[in-house]
Amino acid sequence: HKNLPPSPPKLPLIGNLHQLGSSPHRALQAMAQTYGPLMLIHLGTVPILVASSVNTAKEIMKTHDITFASRPHLNIPSRLFYTCKDIAFSQYGEYWRQVKSIAILHLLSNKRVQSYQQVRVDEMERMMNVIETSNGSVINLSELLITLTNNVVCRVALGRTYEGMKFKRLLERVMELLGCFSVGSYIPSLRWVDRVSGLERKADEVAKEFDEFLEGVIDEHESKNGVSVEGRDLVDVLLEIQRDHAKGFRLERDMIKAIVMDLFTAGTDTTFTSLEWAICELIRHPSAMKELQQEASKIGKGRSMIPEEDLDKMHYLKAVLKEALRLHIPLPLLVPRESTDDVKLLSYDIPSGTQVLINAWKIARDPSNWEEPGEFRPERFLNSTIDYKGLHFELLPFGAGRRGCPGIQFAVNVNELVLANLVYKFTLTPAGKETLDVSETNGISVHKKYPILVSATPCC
């Protein structure tokens, strides 16, 4: 006798799986037009609640946040993250609380993020030098931005950079696998499909390679007894907590590796993606680019770079980054959640154990929340109090509530510094149509399909 939310008709065994296609956030947007802002779809035999409006997202992530604060146990994340001993995929409870607070205290708090200012400046300058020495020939800006975000996270978490394609390719493969659909997670009787298709094997191979890399990092830290190039880094802190058994919390080696791996996958890809989209939209909108360059030269006043202290005066810069995050939410369906109790949502009965997706992408492009939602118009944020920190449910690129992203400040500080200085120092001219193309990749995070290729000439 339960009053369940409306559901689209489903096929036996596969449910609505066939309707999701390669771009689930778009398919779910279309389904919500018919079935409403709170619908219950079925992926295989698993019911999934999909929220697609400000009101329904708020009910889940604010009113009933604690009920929806867990994550479902999924096959691929479990294989990659040491049976979900990381932060993002671990179930709600004491373990998650402990590891999240360690990551915040030692890596992501405002104070810690401020302390990495020199690392950001070094890496930004290093990138500017590469651009400068290109002497106007075509460069792959996307590639440079990935290296920059990777290096920043490596230096503060691991104490030094690990450059080279092998590491970058490994991270890419983790993100690809997280975006793959595991049949066995949704149709238990077809678990064998994941084995036959090679998905489980690929996940195990990547997990093994990452594990070897992380073992090397930990050995390096143990042998130098905690003194790294950058001073005390996150791995040093985690090893210290492991030795001390602080507050009776036992941090095992697998947990350390899962936490570090999580921060890489959650932190580098999303930060790079949002910066790449912002630059792409600026190149596509020369008047917005001009406005931002004028602001940059006013604040820069002919100095060699715009320092971080001055970024707060750059209101248009902040508006550009917000607008890019609105139009191109890096994780369009956020990270799946799961309820841990029966709950009444609006007038519907939602049973304990229901998986939940929030279609933040649809909400950020909903004409009832935004004027001309498909247009890139940074001005809309100039006289608006709407922010992305999880209090305004029309803009949720970082999620909200207990499971909201703890890395907002980390990402924003990198992106503001790099974008401000890039447009301050260079005029970017696109090389070829694909740079302006807004096609997206498929997967858990949505990238620009084609890299940004530009020639850069110094601004006088």
Closer CB to ligand HEM, residue 270 or residue 435? Answer: 270
Annotated binding-site residue? 459? no
Q: How far apart are CA 169 and CA 184, in angstroms?
A: 26
Closer CB to ligand HEM, residue 178 or residue 199? Answer: 178
Rounded to a whole number of angstroms, the minimum distance from the CB of residue 5 to ligand HEM is: 20
Closer CB to ligand HEM, residue 364 or residue 423? Answer: 364
Contact 105, 399 (CB under 8 A): no
Rounded to a whole number of angstroms, the minimum distance from the CB of residue 104 to ligand HEM is: 9
Rounded to a whole number of angstroms, the minimum distance from the CB of residue 404 to ligand HEM is: 5
Count of CA atoms in the C-beta half-sphere (13 A) of 222: 10
Instruction: Please give the full DSSP string across 224-292, using - where no structure is assigned.
Output: TTT-BTTBS-HHHHHHHHHHHTGGG----HHHHHHHHHHHHHHHHHHHHHHHHHHHHHHHH-HHHHHHH
Closer CB to ligand HEM, residue 153 or residue 154? Answer: 153
Closer CB to ligand HEM, residue 141 or residue 446? Answer: 446
| φ and ψ at residue 176, rounded to 5 degrees | -60, -45
Matching residue, tokens 């935004």: 370
Rounded to a whole number of angstroms, the minimum distance from the CB of residue 210 to ligand HEM is: 16
Question: How many residues would you count in the chain?
Answer: 460
Q: How far apart are CA 324 and CA 381, in angstroms?
A: 11
Closer CB to ligand HEM, residue 336 or residue 353? Answer: 336
Q: How far apart are CA 388 and CA 378, in angstroms?
A: 14
Residues that bind ligand HEM (CB under 6 A): 87-88, 100, 103, 108, 153, 262-263, 266-267, 270-271, 274, 330-331, 334-335, 397-400, 403-407, 410-411
Q: How far apart are CA 48 and CA 43, in angstroms?
A: 7
Rounded to a whole number of angstroms, the minimum distance from the CB of residue 274 to ligand HEM is: 4
Helices 408-425 and 253-284, interaxial angle, to 10°?
40
Rounded to a whole number of angstroms, the minimum distance from the CB of residue 338 to ligand HEM is: 11
Q: Which residues are annotated as a binding site for heme?
A: 405
Q: Which residues are annotated as a binding site?
A: 405
